[in-house]
Structure 1
Amino acid sequence: MPQRIIRFCTIVMAALVAGTIFGIWIGYDPKDLSAPTFIEQQQSAILALNTLMPILGLITILLTLTSAFLQRKNKFVFALLLVASVFFILSGITTRFGNQLINSVVMTWNMDSPPNNWMELRNQWWTYHELRTLSAFIGLCLIVWTNMKKN
């Protein structure tokens, strides 16, 4: 029973993390936004998610590793869950050393006087976001797949 609870919680947490990242990718493409709109939207999102998402990501990684450990007798499931953990770790590393570095700069911006390089930083941020979206999505798919394969 505890293994089923861990598996369930792993799916839910991975879905929350990947779903939030995916929702940002689908709904918040900044390429057509004016500088003031981009800055306002980005600063609002940073305030709302910059602390919460890394915590949820860490919980997801720990649950996925725990689930892998509990299923270590099934080498195929064990390996896939370890790979899923790696994809969530890559998503976290991309966030920490890509997106969040740019986030800290964006938080200093004034909507009325954006820096000259705001579009360059916006585009860099978006590239990092696309990478972490793909990584989190692959991690989620692997977690769901292992739970479909294991009764």
Structure 2
Amino acid sequence: MSSVALRYGVVVLAVVAIGLVAGTLLGSGLVGLSAKGLPEEMWTKSFQLEDALYSKAMPPLFVTSLAALFVSCFVTRGSARGLFVAATVFMLVVLIVTLWGEVPLNQQIQTWVPGAAPANWADIRDRWLANHLVRTIAGLLGFVCATVGLAKM
């Protein structure tokens, strides 16, 4: 395989991976917003089920995305490189908000008994949604940067 093909392969992997992250975040955010109207017991059960899935599926996708984006910063040139650096920074924002904002809330919510959540459960849900909005915007901006970066190669 030629070095050009390998370079393009890594860059395409970066775009696909960050696209999957951004799409997953967008979908999860939309579900979270629509679930705001649910009573606590139903919301808690739904959130706990979704979190159990995402906590297994997302880490490998995050690692793949970050690794491919990082390598893309070194195999691209000119404005494409700048766009992949920006995409990597946006993905790091997603990771930071996830680890320091969302994961602690996820762990807290996983301990709740549906129907007997704390009195401030809606505040915690809304804080999760606000954090999620930040990481969704960062993920989407990263995807746009990576896609434009690929087009400029």
Compute the TM-score of the two structures, normalised by the length of structure 2: 0.92
Q: d(CA) in 1 for partners of 2:29 and 2:36?
A: 12
- 1:71-109 CA distance string (max 9 Å, x none): 1xx232112111110100100110111011100000000
Indicate the SS of the match to 1:64.
Answer: helix
Query: 1:82 aligns to what?
Result: 85
Q: d(CA) in 1 for partners of 2:129 and 2:121?
A: 12
Is structure 2 residue 10 aligned with structure 1 residue 6? yes
Query: Are the aligned partners of 1:54 and 1:92 in contact in 2 as well (CA < 8 Å)?
Result: no
Query: Are the aligned partners of 1:25 and 1:133 in contact in 2 as well (CA < 8 Å)?
Result: yes
Q: d(CA) in 2 for partners of 1:91 and 1:121?
A: 19
Is structure 2 residue 77 aligned with structure 1 residue 39? no
Q: d(CA) in 1 for partners of 2:49 and 2:36?
A: 17
Q: d(CA) in 2 for partners of 1:80 and 1:12?
A: 15
1:22 to 23, 26, 34: 26
For 1:83-98, list aligned pairs within 5 A: 83-98=86-101
Indicate the SS of the match to 1:110.
Answer: coil
- 1:43-95 CA distance string (max 9 Å, x none): 00110011321321121011011011011xx2321121111101001001101
1:114 to 112, 117, 120: 117
Indicate the SS of the match to 1:113.
Answer: coil
Query: 1:67 aligns to what?
Result: 72
Aligned partner of 2:132: which letter?
Answer: H
The Cα of 1:112 is off from its aligned counterpart by: 2.3
Is structure 2 residue 131 aligned with structure 1 residue 125? no
Choose 44-53 or 139-148, whichever is displaced more: 44-53
What stretches of structure 2 of length at least 5 have no aligned partner?
A: none
Identical amino acids, percent of aligned pairs: 24
Query: Are the aligned partners of 1:81 and 1:146 in contact in 2 as well (CA < 8 Å)?
Result: yes
Tell me which stretches of 4 or more aligned residues in structure 1 moved more than 3 Å.
none
Query: Are the aligned partners of 1:91 and 1:135 in contact in 2 as well (CA < 8 Å)?
Result: yes
Indicate the RMSD between aligned Cα atoms, in angstroms.
1.1
Aligned partner of 2:93: which letter?
Answer: L
Is structure 2 residue 57 aligned with structure 1 residue 52? yes
